[in-house]
Amino acid sequence: MIEGSLSRVIDHSTSPFVILTAFRADFTLKQNRKRNHRLEGEFRSIGAGGIKLIGHWQEAPDGIWMGHNLNEIDPNQLVDTTEESYFVPMPSGLDFPRFKEWVCDVINKYNQDAAVLSDGNSINLIDKSGDLVVIGSKISIDKVQQAYSSLRHKNFVFEGTMGPSSNAHRQLLKSRGIHWL
């Protein structure tokens, strides 16, 4: 992530966006990065750009999410993961219903449990069927490590950024307790 990307995330967070990844715990880092590269092509094909992030998720084993509400899943079945994700603002050529449909298609294609989707007013988890669960209303730089409200009494947090581009950027991130790859 280049300097200013964090402020770009904050700036774009008042408009519709999605945070998503192609990572799965059962793939190697190399395989996951290849999957994410293909995911980049997916959002570029609809005219969107993305900002790389480090995301945190409690991943469900394959099949657990099917037919279950987020709050019905046994927490003991979830696997804690840190993954490279993308913050993708909705491109100007799409309306929100089409953007949401695209997000559902991508979630299913890459076998994701859910993604973070905002309509510009609320921040939600969206699952494979398109069901939404509100998890917050805004992202603020002052509370970036707790940018999202808790899900199942566990914080869903913005973990950090991809590679600071200068020593000053590293010092700024370190002073705020933000980690990077």
Hey, where are the domains in the chain?
A: 5-180
Pull the structure tokens for residue 62: 């394959």
Secondary structure class of 167 (helix, strand, coil):
helix
Q: Which residues contact 1 (CB under 8 A, 6 or more apart)?
A: 51, 52, 53, 161, 162, 163, 164, 165, 180
pTM for the full model? Answer: 0.70
Give the model confidence (pLDDT) of 35-67 as tens digits.
Answer: 999 999 999 999 999 888 876 666 666 655 545
Give the model confidence (pLDDT) of 102-142 as tens digits.
Answer: 999 999 999 988 888 999 998 888 988 898 888 777 765 54
